[in-house]
């Protein structure tokens, strides 16, 4: 318990200065490090033929985002399919089948890292470094760029002071945002963390797989192949960038990815530090310090409740082995070295932050903790992915303003700009889209005979499928596993889910911000809705819980909630 509090306190403490630093980087505030970074940035801008001073409208920003993503995705797809012809493949791994390669490329370009493959066996070092890690570095910064553009839009854009009502607003330059964030924030952090992890024993080598002779003859094999590689760098980026895709199939449960208690603590901090820093960025970036208090208050409240439930749940005995002489916590699917507490903590934060790396098998969590993981991903903005978590939060903020705002006797306004039919239509579309994609695909996978290919019957089987699509739509990437997911159905349906969970969820709010930015801004008065208050924070929590629970309760009841009730009912 003390350990959990210490880790969380450290994360928040580190996130505070990091958030202020993020704001400075995004605002382009001059700093001493310019001497180092400006030449690199200028080179990049020159290579890409970018004028860094040119602002972009929401359209330009969205287009740049889409174009860069499409190019990178196709590039990664080709690398994965043809890795056997490419260098840095000491273990002679063959190319991926087209559908698996496509799913993998989409999974990583969407900052999801859902894996229908095992990295150590199916990806070459080149694929890991060029295909996987480069996307793990860029995609979180792209998400953060979109979030920054949306925040700029909500306050009228960078040209708010001079632009006329109805005039297109400058939401920043996409290329500059992503370049600066990657160079000045993400790469230095990754460097520090990968060195720290290397020091703890995470492999960091270009040598091929090692062989070892098992001491215990009962293992039944003469020698064991131990895949290694430049693992530390990849683990660092996967944790820092809410990515989550591991080098090894079992992710951070494998000692080679997560060897020591210190490594485990560092990785948990890495999972949450940037998502929390983004919240602390909001105040200095927008000049509205109290806005940070609202966002942090709402997210932290939900986070603590979710953490607490997961902890409590995993301290309950596993029903399958209930009635033992010495009842203990649920240790099924867990590393004994992390125990129930460390695994439950990880399970909670990895689903809150859209990270998706695991140090225990979520399939084996007690049903309540499984429900917590699912609800975290359905909300997907308790911290959430870097940038996209904040965007999701802003969507809930706008919806709450629309519903509750009327009760103060004014038509709803966001920072003085009216929320009208056009915006509400776009936001409504997002709510419908989420349930249509997740529930629609879940229903199809369960109805079409044989496609789910899951390992469990009954409620748990339903939960496995529901979890997979929820995780994909949330761009989380963790799995309940137990699915025969290396099939066309899973690769393609999950790819569609991944895309729909990423692009509309980032671009529609960007469009809404672009529309709001152009509107007339009313000065705030005693009659305006004060969103930075405890009352409104409570309203927002109610709206978030209500929308999520009301839409997904039946599906949850037919899955983990049902399982929990059956346990409770005996």
Partner 1 sequence: MDTSSRHGIKVHAARFTAQAMQEAVRDAFVKLAPRTMMKNPVMFVVLVGTVLTTGLSLQALAKGQPWAYTLVVALILFVTVLFANFAEAVAEARGRGQAASLRAARSQLVGRRWRNGQFEYLPAAELRPDDIVVVSANEQIPADGEIVEGVASINEAAVTGESAPVLREAGTDRSGVIAGTTVLSDEIKVRVTAQPGASFLDRMIALVEGAQRQKTPNELALTVLLAALTLVFLIVVVTLPALAQFADVKIDVVVLVALLVCLIPTTIGGLLPAIGIAGMNRALEANVIAKSGKAVELAGDIDTLLLDKTGTITLGDRRATEFIAVAGARVPDLREAALLASLSDPTPEGKSIVALAQAQGASSGDISSSTFVPFSAESRMSGVDLASGRRIRKGARSAIVAWARVGSVAVPADLDAAVDRIARGGATPLVVADDTRVLGVIALADIVKHGVRERFARLRAMGVRTVMITGDNPLTAAAIAAEAGVDDFLAEAKPEDKLARIRAEQAEGRLVAMVGDGTNDAPALAQADIGLAMNSGTQAAKEAGNMVDLDSDPTKLLSVVEIGKQLLITRGALTTFSLANDVSKYFAIIPAIFVAAIPGMAALDIMHLSGPVNAVLAALIFNAAIIPALIPLALRGVSFRPGSAESLLRRNLLLFGVGGVVLPFIAIKLIDLVLAAVFGAR
Closest approach, Cβ 401 to partner 1, in A, equals: 11
Residue 9 burial (C-beta neighbours within 10 Å; 0-12, 13-18, 19+): exposed
The C-alpha angle with vertex 18 and arms to 13 and 23, in degrees rounded to 5, equals: 135
Closest approach, Cβ 466 to partner 1, in A, equals: 8
CA separation for the pair 353, 563 (Å, rounded)? 25
Task: Fill in the per-residue mask, 482 to 521: x = in contact with partner 1 (CB under 8 A), - = not in contact.
Answer: --------------------------------------xx
Q: Among the candidate windows 23-31, 301-309, 385-393, 459-467, which touches partner 1 by CB under 8 A?
A: 459-467
Give the DSSP per-residue string, 323-381: T-SS-----TTB-TTTHHHHHHHHHHHHHHTT----SB-GGGS-HHHHHHHHHHHHH--
Asked if 161 touches partner 1 (CB under 8 A), the answer is: no
CA separation for the pair 170, 230 (Å, rounded)? 41
CB 515 within 8 A of CB 57: no
CA separation for the pair 115, 119 (Å, rounded)? 8
Closest approach, Cβ 519 to partner 1, in A, equals: 9
CA separation for the pair 315, 331 (Å, rounded)? 9
Facing residues of 211 across strands?
Answer: 225
Among 529, 540, 541, 544, binds partner 1 (CB under 8 A): 529
CB 118 within 8 A of CB 249: yes
| 48 vs 406, beta carbon nearer partner 1 | 406
Closest approach, Cβ 402 to partner 1, in A, equals: 7
CA separation for the pair 53, 368 (Å, rounded)? 51
Q: To 10 degrees, what angle do helices 261-286 and 339-352 make?
A: 30
CA separation for the pair 96, 459 (Å, rounded)? 33
CA separation for the pair 391, 410 (Å, rounded)? 25
CA separation for the pair 478, 361 (Å, rounded)? 9
Asked if 455 touches partner 1 (CB under 8 A), the answer is: no
CB 302 within 8 A of CB 546: no
CB 169 within 8 A of CB 235: no
Closest approach, Cβ 490 to partner 1, in A, equals: 16
Asked if 117 touches partner 1 (CB under 8 A), the answer is: no
CA separation for the pair 291, 282 (Å, rounded)? 7
Query: Which residues lie closer than 8 Å to 216 by C-beta, 6 or more apart?
Result: none
| 197 vs 404, beta carbon nearer partner 1 | 404
Asked if 569 touches partner 1 (CB under 8 A), the answer is: yes
Closest approach, Cβ 495 to partner 1, in A, equals: 20
| Other residues' Cβ atoms within 10 Å of the Cβ of residue 43 | 10
Instruction: Say which DSSP state 524 is in.
Output: P
Asked if 542 touches partner 1 (CB under 8 A), the answer is: yes
The CA–CA distances, whole Å, from 498 to 262, 392, 432, 446 equal: 33, 15, 16, 19
CB 331 within 8 A of CB 313: no
Task: Fill in the per-residue mask, 271 to 310: x = in contact with partner 1 (CB under 8 A), - = not in contact.
Answer: ----------------------------------------
Query: How many whole angstroms from its chain centre is CA 365?
Result: 20
Q: Among the candidate windows 67-75, 218-226, 498-506, 539-547, which touches partner 1 by CB under 8 A?
A: 539-547
Q: Among the candidate windows 41-49, 188-196, 470-478, 535-543, which touches partner 1 by CB under 8 A?
A: 535-543
| 10 vs 160, beta carbon nearer partner 1 | 160
Closest approach, Cβ 422 to partner 1, in A, equals: 8
Closest approach, Cβ 533 to partner 1, in A, equals: 6
Among 125, 461, 504, 512, binds partner 1 (CB under 8 A): 461
| 199 vs 428, beta carbon nearer partner 1 | 428
Asked if 322 touches partner 1 (CB under 8 A), the answer is: no
Q: How many positions of this chain bind partner 1 (CB under 8 A)?
A: 70
| 200 vs 533, beta carbon nearer partner 1 | 533
Asked if 523 touches partner 1 (CB under 8 A), the answer is: yes
Task: Fill in the per-residue mask, 207 to 236: x = in contact with partner 1 (CB under 8 A), - = not in contact.
Answer: ------------------------------
* Closest of 320, 326, 323, 325 to residue 365, by C-alpha: 320
Closest approach, Cβ 309 to partner 1, in A, equals: 17
User: Within 383-442, which residues bind partner 1 (CB under 8 A)?
Assistant: 399, 402-412, 416, 419-421, 423-425, 427-429, 431-432, 435-436, 439-440, 442
Closest approach, Cβ 384 to partner 1, in A, equals: 21
CA separation for the pair 231, 190 (Å, rounded)? 12
CA separation for the pair 258, 267 (Å, rounded)? 8
User: Within 325-354, which residues bind partner 1 (CB under 8 A)?
Assistant: none
| 6 vs 553, beta carbon nearer partner 1 | 553
Q: Among the candidate windows 263-271, 277-285, 508-516, 560-568, which touches partner 1 by CB under 8 A?
A: 560-568
Closest approach, Cβ 158 to partner 1, in A, equals: 19
Give the DSSP per-residue string, 108-150: HHTT----SS-HHHH--HHIIIIIIIHHHHHHHHHHHHHHHHH
Among 50, 63, 446, 486, binds partner 1 (CB under 8 A): 446
Asked if 533 touches partner 1 (CB under 8 A), the answer is: yes
CA separation for the pair 137, 236 (Å, rounded)? 10
CB 183 within 8 A of CB 37: yes
Asked if 118 touches partner 1 (CB under 8 A), the answer is: no
Closest approach, Cβ 505 to partner 1, in A, equals: 15
Contacts with partner 1, residue ranges (CB under 8 A): 399, 402-412, 416, 419-421, 423-425, 427-429, 431-432, 435-436, 439-440, 442-444, 446-447, 457-459, 461-462, 466, 520-523, 525-530, 533, 535-536, 538-539, 542, 546, 550-555, 557-558, 562, 565-569
């Amino acid at each position: 318990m003390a350990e959990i509090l210490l880790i969380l306190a450290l994360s928040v403490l580190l996130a505070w200065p990091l958030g202020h630093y993020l704001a400075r980087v995004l605002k382009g505030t001059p700093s001493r490090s310019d001497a180092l970074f400006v030449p690199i940035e200028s080179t990049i801008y020159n290579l890409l033929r970018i004028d860094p001073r040119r602002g972009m409208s929401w359209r330009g920003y969205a287009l740049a985002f889409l174009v860069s993503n499409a190019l990178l995705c196709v590039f990664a797809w080709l690398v994965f399919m043809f890795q056997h012809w490419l260098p840095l493949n000491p273990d002679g791994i063959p190319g991926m089948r087209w559908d698996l390669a496509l799913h993998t490329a989409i999974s990583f370009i969407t900052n999801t890292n859902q894996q229908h493959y095992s990295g150590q066996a199916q990806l070459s070092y080149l694929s890991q470094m060029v295909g996987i890690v480069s996307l793990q570095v860029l995609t979180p910064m792209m998400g953060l760029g979109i979030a920054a553009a949306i925040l700029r839009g909500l306050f009228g854009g960078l040209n708010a002071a001079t632009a006329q009502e109805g005039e297109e607003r400058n939401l920043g330059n996409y290329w500059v945002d992503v370049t600066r964030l990657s160079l000045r924030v993400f790469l230095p952090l990754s460097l520090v963390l990968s060195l720290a992890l290397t020091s703890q024993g995470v492999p960091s080598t270009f040598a091929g797989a090692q062989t070892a002779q098992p001491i215990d003859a009962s293992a039944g094999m003469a020698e064991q192949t131990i895949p290694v590689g430049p693992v530390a760098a990849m683990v660092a980026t996967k944790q820092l960038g809410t990515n989550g895709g591991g080098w090894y199939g079992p992710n951070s449960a494998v000692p080679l990815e997560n060897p020591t208690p210190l490594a485990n603590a560092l990785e948990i901090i890495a999972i949450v530090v940037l998502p929390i820093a983004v919240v602390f960025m909001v105040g200095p970036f927008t000049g509205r310090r109290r806005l940070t208090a609202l966002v942090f208050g709402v997210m932290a409240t939900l986070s603590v409740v979710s953490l607490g439930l997961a902890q409590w749940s995993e301290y309950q005995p596993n029903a399958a082995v209930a009635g033992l002489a010495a009842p203990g916590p649920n240790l099924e699917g867990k590393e004994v070295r992390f125990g129930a507490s460390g695994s439950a903590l990880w399970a909670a934060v990895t689903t809150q932050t859209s990270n998706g790396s695991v140090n225990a098998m979520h399939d084996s969590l007690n049903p309540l903790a499984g429900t917590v993981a699912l609800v975290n991903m359905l909300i997907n903005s308790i911290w959430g992915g870097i940038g996209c978590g904040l965007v999701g939060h802003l969507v809930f903020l706008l919806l709450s303003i629309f519903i509750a705002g009327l009760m103060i006797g004014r038509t709803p306004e966001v920072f003085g700009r009216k929320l009208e039919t056009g915006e509400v239509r776009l936001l409504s579309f997002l709510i419908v889209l989420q349930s249509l994609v997740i529930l629609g695909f879940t229903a199809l996978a369960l109805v079409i005979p044989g496609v789910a290919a899951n390992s469990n019957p009954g409620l748990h089987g339903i939960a496995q499928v529901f979890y997979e699509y929820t995780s994909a739509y949330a761009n989380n990437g963790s799995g309940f596993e137990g699915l025969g997911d290396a099939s066309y159905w899973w690769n393609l349906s999950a790819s569609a889910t991944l895309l729909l969970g990423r692009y509309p969820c980032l671009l529609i709010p960007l469009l809404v911000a672009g529309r709001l930015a152009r509107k007339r801004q009313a000065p705030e008065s005693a009659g305006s809705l004060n969103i930075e208050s405890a009352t409104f924070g409570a309203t927002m929590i109610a709206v978030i819980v209500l929308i999520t629970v009301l839409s997904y309760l039946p599906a949850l009841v037919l899955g983990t909630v049902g399982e929990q009730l059956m346990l409770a009912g005996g």
